[in-house]
Amino acid sequence: MTSAASDGEVRLEREGTLARITFDRPAARNAMTWRMYEQLAAICTRLREDSGVRVALLRGAGGKAFIAGTDIAQFQAFTSGEDGIAYEQRMESVLSALESLPIPTVALVEGWAVGGGLAIAACCDFRIATAGAKFGVPIARTLGNCLSMQNCARIVAALGTAIAKRMLLLGDMVTAEEAQAVGFVLEVAAADAIEARAAALCDRLARNAPITMRVSKEAIRRIVLAGLAGGDDLVRETYASADFRAGVRAFLEKREPQWTGR
């Protein structure tokens, strides 16, 4: 990472009671760098302190992707399972900051919402997607890493066990229509209508009772995460594996990984 442009940027813009959050790294399909995660966390802190904001809209720049995961090049520095633990904890601090915002959040999804992008979309309260949008975590056939227990819980709660297994074991990408059928996507809209549909949803949310929405949202979040089992041993085993290191190399070299189970 050599420049602000290559690192990408997460921008916050205010339009009345609406906060617009834009993931701006279109040359890499908005894949998230550490810098971008840090900016998202800082934006969440600002929004938490801004009583004038009623709703937040999240969108990827360029119209081709919401977020195509975490920048895989960053994984080259990992040497042990403890690196995986630290990474997942760092990720969770950002995701929980977004998920626990006291205002409703809407993800406008165009194109890919993959890996970390799916996690960010899942942390939002509502998702509107274009017909060509796809959701997934294809790590079983690409990187050979795993999700934290919190992220597994989010995906199961939002999409159900069957689709979670398709994503995590088969590496399937789920279409916007499939995601709508299980309630993960609120609405599928044409590309030329998506902005208007998102604006209408945000306007509707901005008119509702903010305290009712805040406490209801927090109650649901607590229920989903209540009694969450520990999972550091699973994360540590996966990120310490030779398969994970081989998966990262294969991904960056644009070739098929060869798994050994070690």
Q: Which amino acid is at 137?
A: V
Residue scoring higher pLDDT (109 or 4)? 109
Least confident residue range of 156-165, 179-188, 224-233: 224-233
Tell me: pLDDT of 10 over 80. Answer: yes
**pLDDT of the residue at 2:** 33
Beta bridge partner(s), residue 58: 21, 107
Residues whose CB is less than 8 angstroms from the CB of residue 78 and which lie 6 or more positions away in sequence, other chains included: 84, 87, 239, 244, 245, 248
In the chain, the percentage of residues whose pLDDT exceeds 90 is 90
Cβ(83)–Cβ(239) below 8 Å? yes
Most confident of 63-72, 166-175, 248-257: 166-175
Phi, psi dihedral angles at 140 (to 5 degrees):
-70, -20
Residue 56 token pair: 């937040």
Band of residue 72 on the pLDDT scale cut at 50, 70, 90: confident
Instruction: Give the span between the Cα atoms of 151 and 231, in whole angstroms.
Output: 11
Task: Express each pLDDT in 110-163 by its tens digit.
Answer: 999 999 999 999 999 999 999 999 999 999 999 999 999 999 999 999 999 999
Cβ(202)–Cβ(195) below 8 Å? no
Band of residue 73 on the pLDDT scale cut at 50, 70, 90: confident
pTM of the model: 0.94
How long a stretch of residues is the chain? 262
Band of residue 85 on the pLDDT scale cut at 50, 70, 90: very high
**pLDDT of the residue at 89:** 92
> Which residue blocks in 185-241 are alpha helix, DSSP H?
194-206, 210-225, 232-239
Residue 220 token pair: 């649901």
Tell me: pLDDT of 75 over 90. Answer: no
Task: Express each pLDDT in 17-67 by its tens digit.
Answer: 999 999 999 999 999 999 999 999 999 999 999 999 999 999 999 999 999
Q: Which domains does the chain have, with CATH numbers?
A: 4-192 (3.90.226.10)
Tell me: pLDDT of 3 over 70. Answer: no
Q: Which residues of 68-77 are buried (b: 16+ CB within 10 A; e: fewer)?
A: bbbbbeebee
252-259: average pLDDT = 93
DSSP 18-45: EEEEEEE-GGGTTPBPHHHHHHHHHHHH
Tell me: pLDDT of 1 over 60. Answer: no
